[in-house]
Amino acid sequence: MNFKMKFVSMVIVSLFVSNAAFAVISSTSAEFFDSTTEGTSSTSNSTKKIFSQNDKDRLEKFVDQNFDRLQEESARGQGVLLTDYVNLVGCDNSRGVVTKAMHDNYGMLFNSGKNQLVNQTEKLINSNSNLARACETKS
Amino acid sequence: MAFAVGGPLPAPSTSTSLPDEKIILLSKDKLWLRLLHLSVPYTKVISSGFYLSGSLDPLAELRVNLSRALGDSSFRCKFPARDQWLRSQFGELSFPDAGAASGACAEYDSWRGSQVVDSISIVYPDRNVQTSLGVFSHTFLKLNLARWPRSSNLNIALGFAAELDPNEPFVSLVSKGLFGGYVAQFTFSNYYTEVNRYGESESRDIFEYDLKFSKSEIDFLLKHMWELQDADFQYYFLSGNCSYHLLTLLEIARPSLDLSSGFDYVTVPSTSLRVVLAAPDLVGKRHWIPGKQTRQNLMVARLSEPGRALYRELRYGGLAFYSDLFSARGISAEETALILDLLAESTRGRSDLALLRGEVLNYRSQLPVGGDVVALEFPSENPETAHGVELISVGFGQDSGRSDTWAQLRYRAALHNVLDPPSGYFRDSTFELADLRVRYYGSREFDGSSFTLLNAVILQSVTEDQFPISWRARSRVNDFLSRAVWENSGGVGFSKNFSSVSVSLMGLAETFMDSREKAGVGVFAGASVGLGFNLFEMLRVQASLDRLSALQSVREGNYWQGEVSVGYSKNAAFSIQSSLVSSWRERSLILEGLYYY
């Protein structure tokens, strides 16, 4: 390494390490290599439990990181994250039925807070035969 | 995992029957070296088990791998990319049936069956000045899964990152960072995590470029990623960093690519992106995700004047919210929805505005579905239109009190001055590193040369309810070919943007040490006012006036210093700049032609 590069390197590194967040691993995820955590959610069964524990964990992680924006997009009735949520739930939203239902039932879904969103979504789907059908067909 | 790795290895029993000449030749094969991460400096794997021969010798590694692949049907469970390459190169040899180890490879086969990747994009969050590293930005890959739409945030981000201990002493951090003292891995995360970090928390626009990889190229890359899931690397801040390692991955997916060879010492993310963009037939469609601030700016721009006024009253003026307010002000239903969407966005995360946010969202949910926040057209200002990181320039100038003019050669390692072409950079700020200027006078002497380690002027505009700190810092050695005067200065304050004009006010501190004077040390304090102006993207004007008072000095007690500079450019490659500088030591005028690369 020539002098110029050494010097420039020292300067740049000093700046880099002054903000250690740049290089810190913050999101290493083994999930990508774990086939059991992927796939669409299960269909409803006789007890009307739409989500398995795995599904719930994944949904709750998604909700935890995106709740505020999900709230905004549900109030609006559209958005990338809202569609992602509906896809994660395992619903077929090709006609916009599910996102529309989330918009129409905004208060019921969101006014109980972040921790209840997944359960409230389950209740909403169970309460409406059209939604139940839309959320059975995808998987 | 059925495949045993690490520990003492048996002698390659079949190696004597293998075609030696061919093995020697193929041990130097570009793709083989890339699969071993031995083709370029800084990339070798340091965790055990990756090199089956226990050495970094590609020939020994090839012998052992070939032996294993021929004798163990489960070899492909652990090293599927190596297995594929070996089979393609040694077609004359008899490898075990790939399906023979289906039981032993259940984990791998299940993963490959579940993780179908349709396409890959390279992602570049735009620069920002909120962190010292945001100015250099970052690159990572996005794996677009078949099960989700391409635009979905459920897709997978693939990056390369090191694990630092934030409590480590500074000197240790620097030396470890420079010389590979940190361990790094390829990392996977949900794309929404990255969008939240860069687009929302840091308010940076995110640019995505689809890579035109075929299914087989994607498949081969994924196989290699499986091989790397437990691999540790040394992390070098400058060379073996995130961007560099991503380039090596792309070269594995498509062996005809040569992307990393130009980055032996320093890999700046924006420069590595330019190399990717310039590679033939590699980049397809471009996509853009506006950051939080950009999105809000676009929404505000769509509002009528009364709508904008109402938004500001509700957001900043404490106006009580009620649903009939909008019709009472003559706001249309469509614009009402837009105002509500904007209010919802701009009150996110603000506990003091939680009540307003709740009312806004509840009312918005009673209005019809719709209202795309913004049209996502790819912006005309993007990473492709940004000037190069380094520059060289030729300049001419004259000092007060001297009749002869001087010529100046200049090299700057990085990154951007507010006078440079602004596209793709932070607009009102300067961040320069390692700026060397050598001057030669008509009277045949070198004088006035300087080396600036750092010159930063970071302006963050105050808003109605946010007061971010603006700051500046400079460390420079003047006249280093004759007497060497080391100057350091810093300041903090506030700035405000008004459309194309920025104004700043800062408190200042400045020191100097003159190597030729006894007690040649000065300490000053004072204040600075700055003004910036941008006209039609081509012409930038910058002015500053400092007033400093000596706390300790062998020279003058109080003095003014000022600078007026103008920069003009029509594209990102060249600019012309002129400065008039006045300080207690001199007044000088310079005209420069700059080339960025």
Q: What is the pLDDT of residue B179?
A: 80
d(CA B529, CA B493): 10
Please identify which residue in the block is written with the tokens 């569609």. A83
Q: How far is A10 from chain B (nearest CA, A)?
A: 8
Average pLDDT score over residue span B44-67: 94
A77 contacts in chain B (CB < 8 Å): 365, 368-370
Q: What is the pLDDT of residue B131?
A: 72
Exposure of A40 in the CB half-sphere (CA atoms within 13 A): 17
- Who wins on pLDDT, B509 or A41? B509
Alpha carbon of residue B592 to chain centroid: 28
Res. A25 pLDDT band, cuts 50 70 90: very low
Residues 6+ apart with CB under 8 A from B381: B423, B424
Please identify which residue in the block is written with the tokens 């995110």. B206
In terms of average pLDDT, the best of B14-18, B134-138, B571-575 is: B571-575
Q: What is the pLDDT of residue A45?
A: 36
Residues pairing with B395 in the sheet: B408, B592
d(CA B381, CA B391): 20
Question: Could you report the per-residue pLDDT of B442-454, keeping only the tens digit for each?
Answer: 877 777 789 999 9
Q: How far is B300 from chain A (nearest CA, A)?
A: 17
Q: How far is A73 from chain B (nearest CA, A)?
A: 9
B148 contacts in chain A (CB < 8 Å): 84, 87
Q: What is the pLDDT of residue B466?
A: 85
Question: SS3 letters for B12-33?
Answer: CCCHHHCCHHHHHHHCCCHHHH
A52 pLDDT more than 80: no
Q: What is the pLDDT of residue B555?
A: 65
Q: Which two tokens stand for residue B129?
A: 């000045």
**Angle made by CA atoms B393, B399, B402, in degrees to the nearest 5:** 130
A24 inside 8 A of chain B by CB: yes
B477 pLDDT more than 90: yes
Q: Chain B, 211-240: which have a CB under 8 Å from a chain A CB?
A: 226, 229, 235, 237-238
B595 pLDDT more than 70: yes
Summary mean pLDDT of chain B? 89
d(CA B37, CA B225): 12
Contacts 24+ apart (CB under 8 A), B146-151: B146/B116, B146/B117, B146/B118, B147/A38, B147/A39, B147/A40, B147/B116, B148/A84, B148/A87, B149/A83, B150/B118, B150/B119, B151/A80, B151/B287
Q: How far is A117 from chain B (nearest CA, A)?
A: 16
Residues pairing with B590 in the sheet: B397, B579
Average pLDDT score over residue span B576-594: 90
Q: What is the pLDDT of residue B18?
A: 64
Q: Quick check: A35 and B114 CB within 8 A?
A: yes
Res. B132 pLDDT band, cuts 50 70 90: low
Q: Quick check: A33 and B453 CB within 8 A?
A: no
Q: Which residue from B123, B127, B121 is spatially nearest to B387, judged by alpha carbons?
A: B127
Q: What is the pLDDT of residue A41?
A: 34
Q: Quick check: A71 and B154 CB within 8 A?
A: no
Res. B176 pLDDT band, cuts 50 70 90: confident
Percent of chain A topping pLDDT 70: 62
A11 inside 8 A of chain B by CB: yes
Residues 6+ apart with CB under 8 A from B17: none
Please identify which residue in the block is written with the tokens 């993207």. B537
B208 inside 8 A of chain A by CB: no
Q: Quick check: A78 and B196 CB within 8 A?
A: no
A11 pLDDT more than 60: no
A95 inside 8 A of chain B by CB: no
Please identify which residue in the block is written with the tokens 């070198």. B446
B119 pLDDT more than 60: yes
**Taking the alpha carbons of B543, B547, B553, B555 in that order, is the dihedral positive or negative?**
positive
- Who wins on pLDDT, B73 or B577? B577
d(CA B449, CA B85): 56
Res. B256 pLDDT band, cuts 50 70 90: very high
With H, G, I as helix, E, B as strand and everything else as coil, classify residue B286. strand
**Quick one: CA torsion of B23, B28, B33, B39, rounded to 10 degrees?**
160
Q: What is the pLDDT of residue B103?
A: 74
Q: How far is A119 from chain B (nearest CA, A)?
A: 20
Q: What is the pLDDT of residue A131?
A: 92
Q: Quick check: A80 and B364 CB within 8 A?
A: no
Q: Which of B111, B148, B192 shows the shortest C-beta gap to A33?
A: B111
Best A12, A60, A65, A139 member to test B by mutation, with max B CBs in 10 Å, is A12
d(CA B106, CA B154): 25
Q: Quick check: A24 and B110 CB within 8 A?
A: no
CA-to-CA dists, residue B24 to A136, B18, B66, B568, angstroms: 58, 11, 12, 57
Question: Could you report the per-residue pLDDT of B274-295, keeping only the tens digit for each?
Answer: 999 999 999 999 999 999 999 9
B162 inside 8 A of chain A by CB: yes
B166 contacts in chain A (CB < 8 Å): 20, 24
Q: What is the pLDDT of residue B518?
A: 65
Q: Quick check: A12 and B414 CB within 8 A?
A: yes
Please identify which residue in the block is written with the tokens 């990339």. B43
B192 contacts in chain A (CB < 8 Å): 62, 65-66, 81, 84
Q: How far is A23 from chain B (nearest CA, A)?
A: 5
Alpha carbon of residue B209 to chain centroid: 15
Average pLDDT score over residue span A74-78: 95
Nearest CA in chain A to B147: A39
Q: Which of B114, B174, B265 shows the shortest C-beta gap to A14?
A: B174
Least confident span in B146-155, B364-373, B528-537: B364-373
B149 inside 8 A of chain A by CB: yes
Nearest CA in chain A to B369: A77
B114 inside 8 A of chain A by CB: yes
**Global ipTM:** 0.84
CA-to-CA dists, residue B549 to B470, B506, B546, angstroms: 22, 15, 10
As a whole number of Å, the CA-based R_g of chain B is: 29
Q: Which residue from B360, B302, B291, B362 is spatially nearest to B332, judged by alpha carbons?
A: B302
Res. B565 pLDDT band, cuts 50 70 90: very high
Q: Chain A, 37-66: which have a CB under 8 Å from a chain B CB?
A: 38-40, 62, 65-66
Q: How far is B549 from chain A (nearest CA, A)?
A: 30
Q: What is the pLDDT of residue B5?
A: 37
Q: What is the pLDDT of residue B128?
A: 87
Least confident span in A4-8, B461-465, B540-544: A4-8
B302 pLDDT more than 70: yes
Res. B251 pLDDT band, cuts 50 70 90: very high
Average pLDDT score over residue span B193-209: 95
Q: How far is A86 from chain B (nearest CA, A)?
A: 11
A106 contacts in chain B (CB < 8 Å): 361-362, 365
CA-to-CA dists, residue B340 to A71, B310, B325, angstroms: 13, 11, 12
Q: Which of B110, B162, B337 shows the shortest C-beta gap to A23?
A: B162
Res. A49 pLDDT band, cuts 50 70 90: low
| B294 phi, psi to nearest 5 deg | -60, -45
B364 contacts in chain A (CB < 8 Å): 75-76
Q: Which helix (H) or strand (E) holds B226?
A: helix B215-227
Average pLDDT score over residue span B245-251: 95
Count of CB pairs separated by less than 8 Å, A with B: 195
B432 pLDDT more than 80: yes
Percent of chain B topping pLDDT 90: 66
Q: What is the pLDDT of residue B39?
A: 84
d(CA B413, CA A7): 10
Q: What is the pLDDT of residue B97?
A: 83
d(CA B122, CA B242): 12
- Between strands B587-596 and B485-498, the pairing is unpaired
- Please name the residue ranges forming H helices in B12-118: 20-26, 30-35, 58-71, 75-78, 80-89, 106-114
* Residues B293 and B203: beta-carbon distance below 8 Å: yes
d(CA B566, CA B540): 6
* Residues A50 and A44: beta-carbon distance below 8 Å: yes
B371 inside 8 A of chain A by CB: yes
Q: Which of B184, B373, B453 shows the shortest C-beta gap to A11?
A: B453
* Residues B578 and B590: beta-carbon distance below 8 Å: yes
B167 inside 8 A of chain A by CB: no
Looking at residue B64, its amino acid is: V
Percent of chain B topping pLDDT 70: 94
Q: Which helix (H) or strand (E) holds B272?
A: helix B269-278
B93 pLDDT more than 50: yes
Q: How far is B307 from chain A (nearest CA, A)?
A: 18
With H, G, I as helix, E, B as strand and everything else as coil, classify residue A40. coil
Q: What is the pLDDT of residue B102?
A: 64
Q: What is the pLDDT of residue B336?
A: 96
Residues 6+ apart with CB under 8 A from B264: B40, B41, B239
Q: Quick check: B164 and A15 CB within 8 A?
A: no
Q: Chain B, 306-325: which have a CB under 8 Å from a chain A CB?
A: none
B372 inside 8 A of chain A by CB: yes
Q: What is the pLDDT of residue B303?
A: 95
Q: Which of A13, A31, A103 shows the shortest C-beta gap to B188?
A: A31
Q: How far is A132 from chain B (nearest CA, A)?
A: 21
d(CA B215, CA B209): 17
As a whole number of Å, the CA-based R_g of chain A is: 21
Neighbours of B86 (CB within 10 A): 24
B174 contacts in chain A (CB < 8 Å): 10, 13-14, 17
Q: Which residue from B261, B210, B209, B278 is spatially nearest to B34, judged by alpha carbons?
A: B261
Average pLDDT score over residue span A39-60: 57
d(CA B168, CA B237): 16
B14 pLDDT more than 60: no
DSSP-assigned letter for residue B49: T
Neighbour-count burial for A93-115, b at 16+ CB within 10 Å, e otherwise: beeebbbebbbbbbeebbeeeee
Res. A35 pLDDT band, cuts 50 70 90: low
Question: Could you report the per-residue pLDDT of A79-107, keeping only the tens digit for each?
Answer: 999 999 999 999 999 889 999 999 999 99
Res. B9 pLDDT band, cuts 50 70 90: very low
Q: Quick check: A17 and B170 CB within 8 A?
A: yes
Q: What is the pLDDT of residue A47?
A: 33
Question: Could you report the per-residue pLDDT of B308-348, keeping only the tens digit for each?
Answer: 999 999 999 999 999 899 999 999 999 999 999 999 999 99
Residues 6+ apart with CB under 8 A from B182: A23, B162, B163, B164, B176, B234, B235
